[in-house]
């Protein structure tokens, strides 16, 4: 099925934009994909501004804002076979807007924002599931939160984000677990925070985000090749979104959710790096931002987030089966 997708998602009920202006939106033809959504066991407590990663076939989430709107250090683990959550060791300190990523047998918690005042941090923590504890590793070259993180060739690649003094961070930082050292790489061309990043076949894709303003979301997609230390522009998302999440299934990048200052997105858009094309897929049952996404066993789990703009939490876990 083919439909029109516009640059930006407009809710006619909530926008003051006149109909003639709506008709002038630039649109592109995209394919609508198949699949279905189902519900899984909810999070033990509602959380937003969390991240998700898979380690040993189980999904981990950590940090975020809890049901009171306070930053939390809580971490949870989900077993998709048993459809059960359990609490694991808390983070060393409360964080939100903190990406998670797994490299081999190790889970990494990268930077993030602290306190209700959104203070960027440079901490790097690893989780040892055999001992149920967190340990510190070499700190990031500079503090940042609301950044994107992917894993390429066994290394963490950290891009974008919110730095000290409420400024956007342009540096690309690469961490080698074998040496416990960071190095800087070519800066991201489009400065942004609240982006999502994911790696496919040795290339990191930095998707969406915003310039510290939820009403100025981007549809930008830029690819980083560590082998050449170069960035390349790719096909733009069908919609402009920040505060979104992504995960990879069968070599394609699935993106979910996002927000503006007045609304949240249910968008589910899929990017195929092999063709540099986007398709649309069945929308999220629960529109939200600040959510986590992870793939296990050929299914995608979309976890937590904010069902309204700003501080609002959900415990919803929804599963997409293609």
Classify residue 131 by burial, with Cβ atoms within 10 Å: 0-12, 13-18, 19+: exposed
Whole-number Å distance between alpha carbons of 207 and 196:
5
Mean pLDDT, each 10-residue run in order, the chain (322 residues):
37 33 34 83 98 98 98 99 99 99 98 97 97 98 99 98 97 98 98 99 99 97 98 99 99 99 98 99 98 99 97 98 97
- Concatenating the DSSP letter of every residue in 22-74 gives HHTS-EEEEEEP--EEEE-PPPSS-BBS-EEEEETTEEEEE--B-TTS-BB--
Antiparallel, parallel or unpaired: β 167-168 and 162-163: antiparallel
Whole-number Å distance between alpha carbons of 157 and 217:
22
Q: Give Cβ neighbours of residue 133 (< 8 Å, ≥ 6 apart).
A: 89, 127
User: Could you tell me if 200 and 249 are in contact, meaning their C-beta atoms sit under 8 angstroms apart?
Assistant: no
Q: The whole model's pTM is what?
A: 0.90
Determine the pLDDT at residue 34. Answer: 86
Determine the pLDDT at residue 33. Answer: 66
Determine the pLDDT at residue 1. Answer: 39
User: Could you tell me if 144 and 169 are in contact, meaning their C-beta atoms sit under 8 angstroms apart?
Assistant: yes
Q: Give Cβ neighbours of residue 198 (< 8 Å, ≥ 6 apart).
A: 150, 204, 205, 207, 246, 247, 248, 253
User: Could you tell me if 5 and 283 are in contact, meaning their C-beta atoms sit under 8 angstroms apart?
Assistant: no
Instruction: Give me the CATH topology for the region 35-321.
Output: Neuraminidase (2.120.10)
């Amino acid at each position: 099925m083919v439909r029109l997708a516009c640059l930006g998602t407009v809710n006619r009920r909530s926008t003051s934009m006149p109909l003639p202006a709506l008709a002038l939106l630039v649109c592109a033809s995209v394919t609508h994909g198949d699949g279905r959504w189902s519900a899984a066991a909810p999070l033990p407590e509602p959380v937003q501004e969390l991240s998700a990663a898979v380690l040993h076939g189980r999904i981990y989430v950590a940090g975020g804002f809890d049901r009171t709107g306070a930053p939390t250090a809580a971490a949870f683990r989900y077993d998709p076979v048993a459809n059960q959550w359990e609490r694991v060791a808390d983070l060393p300190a409360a964080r939100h807007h903190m990406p998670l990523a797994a490299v081999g047998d190790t889970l990494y918690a990268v930077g993030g924002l602290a306190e209700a005042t959104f203070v960027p941090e440079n901490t790097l923590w690893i989780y040892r599931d055999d001992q149920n504890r967190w340990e510190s590793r070499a700190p990031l070259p500079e503090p940042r939160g609301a950044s994107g993180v992917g894993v390429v060739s066994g290394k963490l690649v950290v891009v974008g984000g919110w730095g000290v003094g409420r400024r956007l961070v342009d540096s690309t930082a690469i961490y080698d677990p074998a040496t416990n050292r960071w190095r800087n790489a070519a800066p991201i061309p489009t400065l942004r925070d609240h982006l999502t990043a994911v790696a496919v076949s040795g290339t990191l894709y930095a998707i969406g985000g915003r310039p510290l303003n939820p009403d100025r979301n981007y549809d930008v997609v830029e690819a980083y090749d560590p082998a050449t230390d170069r960035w390349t522009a790719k096909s733009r998302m069908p919609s402009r979104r920040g505060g979104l999440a992504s995960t990879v299934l069968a070599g394609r990048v699935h993106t979910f959710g996002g927000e503006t200052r007045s609304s949240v997105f249910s968008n589910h858009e899929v990017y195929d790096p092999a063709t540099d094309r986007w398709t649309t897929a069945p929308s999220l049952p629960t529109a939200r931002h600040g959510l986590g996404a992870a793939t296990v066993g050929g299914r995608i789990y979309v976890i937590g987030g904010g069902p309204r703009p700003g501080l609002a939490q959900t415990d919803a876990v929804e599963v997409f089966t293609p």
